[in-house]
Structure 1
Amino acid sequence: MTADEANTFLSAAFVGTGRRSEVTLMEEGRAVMRLVADATHLRPGGYISGPTQMSLVDSAAYMAVMTYTGHEPMTVTSNLSINFLRPCIGDVVVADARVMKIGQALAVMDVDVRIEGADKPASHAVVTYALPRKPDGRAA
């Protein structure tokens, strides 16, 4: 799945959700997403909100899994753990997700969130996705 195909999938799957993040990179085991923040994503002081960062983390992890599974909409989040490391202040936030392990039933991703151009991440997450089973009981 390419970045363009991923963006087309997201647009069709999440109709009417307003301004969306975009997939900028899809390569085996890795996906990068970018969000241009607006007032709906901010906390007082111009901080990118925690829920905004978590949503971006989850979306980037989802896309990273799809670099292995292809278009598989029933892949679902089973765990997301995030650590907020430093203030996330800026106009554009980026999530870089990498698959650490993919098995028959679960995939585990490591995700860094940072303001575009920043050296250090603002948050770090580990995300686990449950992979759907095929009719014969094997993972998709």
Structure 2
Amino acid sequence: MTLAMSHAALSQHLEQGFGPVGADLTIDAVDEGSVTLRLCPHEGHIRLGGTVSGPSLFLLADVAFYFAILARLGPVEMAVTTNASIDFMRKPAGDLPVLGTATVHKLGRTLAVGQVLMRNPGRDAVLAQASLTYAIPPKRD
């Protein structure tokens, strides 16, 4: 399988199409099987107790999976989340980046299904796991 969008193209799309949200994320890696985004938490991502908030982890998971779809299909503006579920397994430290590695398990004509595993860099322990389904708009001729 060849990629429809390169690391550079995805990074440009993130910078230009996501406004202030895009500033909180960077694309770490893109390959034929996955896309990894990095969230470097700042005070807006930290909740009481010094941990990265659940909504911030959802942001990472949702955008990472969207970009995994884009890497395979190319620019698809109206691909949207139709289902998302997150299991929070470990407390993410607020002073460390969080990596979200998104994998597309099934890419059909109208739906994409996959998961995002979230970890701290250099650590094997999974902080959270998200399962996502996206609706893909029909192609127009």
- Shorter-chain TM-score above 0.5: yes
Identical residues among aligned pairs (%): 35
Greater shift in the superposed pair: 115-124 or 13-22:
13-22
> What are the ranges of 5 or more consecutive residues in structure 1 without an aligned counterpart?
none
Give the Å deviation of 1:15: 2.3
Deviation per residue, 1:85-116 (Å, 9 max, x gap):
11111421100000111111100111101122
Q: What SS does structure 2 have at the residue aligned with 1:51? A: helix
Amino acid at match of 2:6: T
Q: Tell me by how many angstroms 1:135 deviates.
A: 3.2
1:134 matched residue in structure 2: 139
Given candidates 55, 66, 70, the residue that maps to 2:74 is: 70
1:39 and 1:67, CA in 2 relative to 1: closer, same or farther beyond 3 A? same
In structure 2, C-alpha distance between the alignment counterparts of 1:29 and 1:132, rounded to whole Å: 22
Cα pair 1:26 1:63 within 8 Å, conserved? no
After TM superposition, give the deviation of residue 17 of structure 1 in Å. 3.9
Q: Secondary structure at the match of 1:112?
A: strand
User: Which of residues 124, 127, 130 in structure 2 aligns to 1:122?
Assistant: 127
Within the candidate set 73, 92, 100, 2:97 is matched to: 92
What amino acid maps onto 1:111 in structure 2?
V
Quick check: 127-136 or 56-65, which moved more? 127-136
- For residues 96-115 of structure 1, what are the structure 2 equivalents within 5 Å? 96-115=101-120
* Contact kept in structure 2, 1:34 and 1:94, CA below 8 Å: yes
State the SS of the aligned residue for 1:116: coil
The alignment covers a number of residue pairs equal to 136
Structure 2 residue identity aligned to 1:11: E
